[in-house]
């Protein structure tokens, strides 16, 4: 990254940050500016980290927001630690949960940690990333240490947290060990004597309250918290989540990834440019202005976004090929060049073929899609699920599923 001024660095590093409080955001930006100035004078990099709960090994774009922020710090020459919560996973983060989280086994934690870090290198610079595991120091804490950590907080501070408060009011149990999570995460900052911690908005209490307070209690200068906004899913509204089916896996095939980005509502594009691309604040502003002033068609802007995201996780060439396929399939209404084939059996109905070719999960789903005019053969809608399959050709279900139907003995 070319050399940029301190103010430009602050603007870049605060891009996409959300605190829910304008004064707090301003205070964090000012502290960051001061710390950057001091680090520059001292000729040292800032110590920056983000902690990751190894609860899953199947990552989506929403998981990469903090990684993108870490990469920005790396590109500016700072020391980045990718911290795996092998110790905190023994408790389970309750920050955005309304029920007790299950504790992972050591084997699950280690497996997820390995695959998690490897996927993170799609964004982070492998050579400049330090990977640490917080069981290294958390498991060495003694009872006296825990008492010192706990003495910095009140019961009221925890009970007032929304997730605990809801459970308390419902009469659901709030276990004492769940309050340890914030203490343990806060102690991570102490153990590494960090300057900056990056995290999602659900980590506001753990980073700003717990981390900073414990650092002060141990005679350290409190870290700056960079609290990132939430990425909406493909519906453009609800937080991206695998369980909701509105996610974009970072290991998705390039064509599928491109298509999922193109399915985003126009309103979601600015936040995606801010949180998951390599765009600078100036570039993001240009995109926002082009949309607001209607100087560019939203479809073209979205294609630019899709190319950028596919390029990050695959390659520029893969992005070009995915775009060409998208244009053929969705704009020119042509079928993809490569598609699975199915050998038609005598007497099979449309529903039989849909099931046998694995284009649908159940017959009821097939009937519903047919009724909604979602099944086509060579571009023509097939209206009757029970009718005998009419002829060979390209069978299309919805927007993205294609099968070339051939006769059984065709070579």
Quick one: DSSP state of residue 208?
I
User: What is the Cα–Cα distance from 256 to 321, expressed in whole angstroms?
Assistant: 12
Burial of 173 (0-12, 13-18, 19+ CB in 10 A): exposed
Residues 52 and 167 in one domain: yes
Based on the fold, state whether residues 52 and 132 are members of the same structural domain.
yes
Would you state the pLDDT for residue 382?
93
The side-by-side arrangement of strands in the sheet containing 47-52 is 129-133, 79-84, 47-52, 196-200, 224-228
Q: Is residue 156 part of a domain?
A: yes
Does 133 lie in the same domain as 265? Answer: no
- The DSSP 8-state label assigned to residue 315 in this structure reads -
196 forms beta bridges with 48, 224
Q: Is the model more confident about 329 or about 46?
A: 46
Are 105 and 149 found together in one domain? yes
CA distance linking residue 84 with residue 97, whole number of Å? 20
Give the pLDDT mean for 60-66.
94
CATH classification of the domain holding 121: 3.40.50.620
Is it the case that residue 329 has pLDDT exceeding 90?
Answer: no
Task: Count other Cβ atoms within 10 Å, centred on residue 293.
Answer: 8
- The CATH number assigned to the domain holding 401 equals 3.10.290.10
Percent of the chain with pLDDT over 90: 63
Residue 379 has pLDDT above 70, yes or no: yes
CB 63 within 8 A of CB 33: no
Q: Which of 288, 311, 331 is where one domain is finished?
A: 331
Angle at 231 (CA atoms; ends 226, 232), nearest 5 degrees: 155
Average of per-residue pLDDT across 397-403:
88
- On whether both 170 and 261 belong to a single domain, the answer is no
pLDDT at 1 over 70: no
Please give the pLDDT value at position 5. 95
The domain in which residue 64 lies consists of 6-228
**Per-residue pLDDT reduced to its tens digit, 152-183:** 888 888 877 767 778 888 888 888 877 888 88
Length of the chain: 411
Reported as a pLDDT band with limits 50, 70 and 90, residue 354 is very high
DSSP assignment string, 132-165: EETHHHHTT--HHHHHHHHTT--HHHHHTSHHHH
Pull the structure tokens for residue 341: 């084939």
Q: Are 185 and 108 within one domain?
A: yes
In a domain, 238, yes or no: no
pLDDT at 109: 73
Per-residue pLDDT of 179-216, as tens digits, reads 888 888 899 999 999 999 999 988 898 899 899 999 99
What pLDDT was estimated at residue 139?
87
- Show Cβ contacts of residue 154 under 8 Å, excluding neighbours closer than 6 positions: none
What H or E segment, with its residue span, contains residue 300?
helix 298-313
- To the question of pTM greater than 0.85 for the whole model, the response is no
Query: What is the rounded CA–CA span in Å between residue 37 and residue 63?
Result: 30
Mean pLDDT (whole number) for 307-319: 97
pLDDT digits (tens, 9 = 90+) for 75-129: 999 999 999 888 887 665 554 444 445 566 667 777 777 778 888 899 999 999 9
- Higher-scoring residue by pLDDT: 353, 98: 353
| Token pair 């801010």 in the structure block, residue | 274
pLDDT band (50, 70, 90) for residue 334: low
Higher pLDDT, 406 or 179: 406
Which of the listed ranges 74-78, 292-296, 403-407 does the model predict with the highest average pLDDT?
74-78
Please give the C-alpha separations between residue 218 and each of 17, 139, 180, 194, in angstroms, as whole numbers.
27, 18, 18, 12
Same domain (yes/no): 349, 322: no
| pLDDT 10s digits, 9-30 | 999 999 999 999 999 999 999 9
Q: What is the structure's pLDDT at 337?
A: 75
Find all residues with CB under 8 Å of 143, minimum gap 6, and list them. Answer: none
Domains: count for the chain? 3
Shared domain for 345 and 327, answered yes or no, is no
Mean pLDDT of the chain: 89
CA distance 356 to 295: 48
Q: What is the pLDDT of residues 364-377, one digit of tens each?
A: 999 999 999 899 98
Asked if residue 52 has pLDDT above 70, the reply is: yes
Could you read off the pLDDT of 338-347 as tens digits, one per residue? 889 999 998 9
Beta bridge partners of 239: 232
Q: Residues 54, 55, 58, CA angle at the centre, nearest 5°?
A: 90
Residues 173 and 304 occupy one common structural domain: no
């Amino acid at each position: 990254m070319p050399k940029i001024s301190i103010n430009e660095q602050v603007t870049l590093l605060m891009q996409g940050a959300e605190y829910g409080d304008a004064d707090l955001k301003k205070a964090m930006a000012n502290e960051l500016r001061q710390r950057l100035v001091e680090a520059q004078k001292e000729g040292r990099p800032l110590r920056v980290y983000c902690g990751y709960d190894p609860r899953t090994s199947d990552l989506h774009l929403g998981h990469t927001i903090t990684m993108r922020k870490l990469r920005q710090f790396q590109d500016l020459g700072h020391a980045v630690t990718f911290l795996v919560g092998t110790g905190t996973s023994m408790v389970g983060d309750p920050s955005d949960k309304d029920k007790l989280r299950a504790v992972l086994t050591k084997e699950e934690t280690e497996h997820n940690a390995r695959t998690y870090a490897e996927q993170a290198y799609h964004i982070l610079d492998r050579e400049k990333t330090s990977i640490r595991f917080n069981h290294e120091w958390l498991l060495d804490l003694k009872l006296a240490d825990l008492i010192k950590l706990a003495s910095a907080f009140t019961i009221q501070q925890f009970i007032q947290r929304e997730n605990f408060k809801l459970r308390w009011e419902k009469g659901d149990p709030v276990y004492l060990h769940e309050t340890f999570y914030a203490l343990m995460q806060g102690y991570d900052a102490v153990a590494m004597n960090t300057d900056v911690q990056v995290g999602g908005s659900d980590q506001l209490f753990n980073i700003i309250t717990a981390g900073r307070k414990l650092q002060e209690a141990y005679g350290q200068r409190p870290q700056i918290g960079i609290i990132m906004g939430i990425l909406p899913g493909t519906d453009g509204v609800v937080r991206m989540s695998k369980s909701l089916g509105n996610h974009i896996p970072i290991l998705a095939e390039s064509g599928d990834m491109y298509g999922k980005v193109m399915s985003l509502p126009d309103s979601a594009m600015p936040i995606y440019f801010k949180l998951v691309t390599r765009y600078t604040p100036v570039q993001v502003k240009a995109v926002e202005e082009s949309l607001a002033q209607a100087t560019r068609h939203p479809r073209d802007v979205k294609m630019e976004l899709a190319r950028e995201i596919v390029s990050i996780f695959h390659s520029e060439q893969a992005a070009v090929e995915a775009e060409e396929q998208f244009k053929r399939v969705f704009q020119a209404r042509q079928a993809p060049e490569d598609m699975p084939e199915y050998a038609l059996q005598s007497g099979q109905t449309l529903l039989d073929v849909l099931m046998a070719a694995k284009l649908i999960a159940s017959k009821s789903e097939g009937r519903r899609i047919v009724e909604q005019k979602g099944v086509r053969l060579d571009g023509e809608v097939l209206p009757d699920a029970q009718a005998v399959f009419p002829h060979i050709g390209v069978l299309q279900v919805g927007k993205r599923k294609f099968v070339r139907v051939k006769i059984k003995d065709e070579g």
